[in-house]
Every structure is written in structure tokens, then in C-alpha cells.
Amino acid sequence: MRFLAIDTAGPSVQAVLSTGAYFHDGNGKNASAALMPAIDGLLHKADMRLRDLDFLACVVGPGSFTGIRIGVSAARAVCYACGLPALPLHYLQTLAYNERADGSARILCVTDGSNGTAYSAEYDGNRREVSPCRCVDKDQAVAAAKAFDGAVCVDEKAAVWLPQAIVPAADGKTLLRAAAALYENTVSWQELVPVYVRVSQAEQDLAKKEGRIDLS
């Protein structure tokens, strides 16, 4: 299979080809400027075109609201224009595919949810969901991770709170493994939609200003 996987939901911008060619920008806020040139560069070096791909994988969330929209919009446009199937990837599930978690019967994945919160989800040894992703208080997530009996997988931002947890290597292999393992879950470009888990801070602020209930 020939595919491209992109991630703009986390703290970094990532793009990786099935050949192993990898792009990484440590500043996730650069997604709007970095993503498409990165894709073009990877394909050019591999002497490939978008139409040569069998599918395009895109991390749909949760994570940065702006980053998610950028990645999903780009993936939808490419899949529509090139007639490619799209593979939606849940951000926390991709973290579970870290090879250092291989052999673990239980895998807990944690990432930053901003504003004192964290996203957390548990998977079994086959990376199947055991408990769905939740947005919880950061301190609660950290305490649960420290007490967890199994592998704890995080990204580089959550690793600041959990320095003993498993962090992806800087080679895109975790994202690549997730896309390769889940390729049978491809959908049409219309079905590639963002996964936010919680409403944005701006929506919560507006709800409070208008006297509506808290949407968090």
C-alpha cells in the first residue's frame, strides 16, 4: 500500500509517507503554512504524486481546534480532487501504536486538552478502545496515569507532566504504524470530519456571556 498520513491535531505538524519519508515541525501553530509544502516535498523526493496513493490518513482529533480544521480541510480537499479514500485517525489511538507499548495488555493514552484539562483514553493490547476518550481535569489525568497498571503513551507536551511515559520517536513511525494497521477503516472524503470531544473555549465563553449553560 502507498499512503500518506498527516497530523495537525497535536503539538507538532507531522506528515509521513508509507515509504518512511517524514516531515516534522515542532510548532503545531505552523500547520497552515507548513502542511501543504511538506506534502509536496515528501512526494517529490519519493517521485510520487497524490494520485499514486491508495489512501490518505488524517488525524481528526482531539487536539488543537485550529490544527484539526486545517488538517481535515486539507485532507478532504485532496481526497476529493484525487478520488482517494480517507482514513480518519483518532489522535490518542495513534499514540497507542508506539512500538514501545507492544506486548502491553493495557495502554493508556494522555494528551493536553488546554485550559487545565487533558484528553485520556484506554486501549487493549491490540489497540482497540476499552474506554472512550474523555476530557478531564489535568491533575486527575496525571494521577490516573501514574497509578495505571500498563503502558502510558503521551505526546511531547503531556510528557512534561508524565516524564516516565512513552513518547513517540521523532521519525513518524508511530503515526505510520497506526495508519497501516487501521487502513480497512477508510471512508469517503465527505465522512472525514473533526473529532473535538469538547467545545472550544471561545464557545464556552460565549455561552457564559449569553447566560447559557456551561457547555464544557
Q: Is a pLDDT exceeding 70 seen at residue 20? A: yes
Cα separation of 62 and 111, whole Å?
9
Tell me the whole-structure pTM to 2 decimals.
0.90
CB 8 within 8 A of CB 68: yes
Cα separation of 200 and 191, whole Å?
22
pLDDT in tens, 25-82: 999 999 999 999 999 999 999 999 999 999 999 999 999 999 999 999 999 999 999 9
For 189, the 3-state DSSP assignment is helix
